[in-house]
Amino acid sequence: MNKKMVFFDLDGTLLDEEKKILNSTKIAIKKLQEKHIIPAIATGRPPAKIQWILNELNIHSYITINGQHAVYEGNEVYKIPFNQDFLQDITSFASSRKHPLVYGSLLDMKSSIESHPYIKDVYKPVNMGYPPVNQGYFRGHLIYKLILFCEKPHEDFYKETFQDMQFTRWHKYALDVIPNGISKAKGIAKFLELTGIPKENTYAFGGN
């Protein structure tokens, strides 16, 4: 297969400091497409949060949620949702410690606790509204993204209890919860394996 792909991160790559797409970026993406090189996004965000970027840049391939979901030219390639028993266990564990969670499906985000200051502190600077409250959201939906809100001294309790998970802190109050063996880099590798695009025909720009 002679197809070529370029994977882009978002913050500081496709998006500037104001979370906007520069005109020069739009021109660069269009030039790739004119040369029949497929641009793709690799991000920790869920699909619903990047739809405006996909639309604006006319991109149809992406790896989202830290490598747990992938789409190639509009068709779903793979998905790795959380196990329901794990979600029930961590919800009970976090609730007993009054630590909020935010659950993310492919289409929406829901919080476990109403009006919590940690969630407000994380979401306000990025102009994202407080997620609607629905602690049982994970029972009726496939959950791909899970955010735990707690201060650093408390995170060891979760690491010791849920050893099949990675807890990656990205804010003083927030951590991504990711199954062991999952990452954007491994998501890209799996994506290439399933689509048959050779590794030597791919490039990646951005963060980890």
- Catalytic residues, which ones? 9
Query: How far are the Cα atoms of 4, 6, 39, 97, 161 from residue 59, in angstroms, in the given order?
Result: 14, 11, 6, 42, 40
SS3 for 178-198, per residue?
EECCCCHHHHHHHHHHHHCCC
Residues in the chain: 208
Query: What DSSP designation does 106 have?
Result: S
Closest CA to 87 of 28, 24, 162: 162
